Structure 1
């Protein structure tokens, strides 16, 4: 099985007492297309900001192309 292009394991982000993203884990294989869906305030934008490097996760690991 090929190494995933993106792997998140236990990613969490807090803003003070507010937990914006809580223990998110998933992986995406090369060539796959996914959608991030959820209600308002569910943490979609915060998760994308973590992936883009705008925010640092408070916990968990992120690997992109094995790094």
Structure 2
């Protein structure tokens, strides 16, 4: 990534679009704590942040929806987006 500046409004949903290889996934993985950034800064809610893991990002309210071609067809779009955050017992999502 080179010379990236992205601003998003609070309490809104945004889509990051571009051609294959443009750096969309790399940017989000840096924000989400999956990749370490080489330089620059990320400011979140007025403070510079550097999440060390995706767990830490989630604890601060930052989440990411990965491209997924294997959806659960019996579920809504929202259910598929939140599937990884539902409580589970073993390998299965609790239905209660």
Greater share of helix: 2
After TM superposition, give the deviation of residue 32 of structure 1 in Å.
2.8
TM-score using structure 2 length: 0.45
TM-score using structure 1 length: 0.61
Give me the whole-angstrom Cα distance separating, in 1, the residues matched to 2:6 and 2:19: 19
**Is 2:2 the partner of 1:22?**
yes
State the match for 1:58 in structure 2. Answer: 38
Q: CA RMSD of the aligned region, Å?
A: 1.2
Task: Give the match's secondary structure for 2:5.
Answer: strand
Give me the whole-angstrom Cα distance separating, in 2, the residues matched to 1:59 and 1:29: 24
- Structure 2's unaligned 5+ residue stretches are 48-96
Give me the whole-angstrom Cα distance separating, in 2, the residues matched to 1:39 and 1:22: 16
Task: Give the match's secondary structure for 2:19.
Answer: coil
Give me the whole-angstrom Cα distance separating, in 1, the residues matched to 2:19 and 2:39: 23
**Following TM superposition, where does structure 1 have runs of at least 4 consecutive aligned residues deviating by more than 6 angstroms?**
none
- The count of aligned residue pairs is 47
Greater share of strand: 1
After TM superposition, give the deviation of residue 44 of structure 1 in Å.
0.7
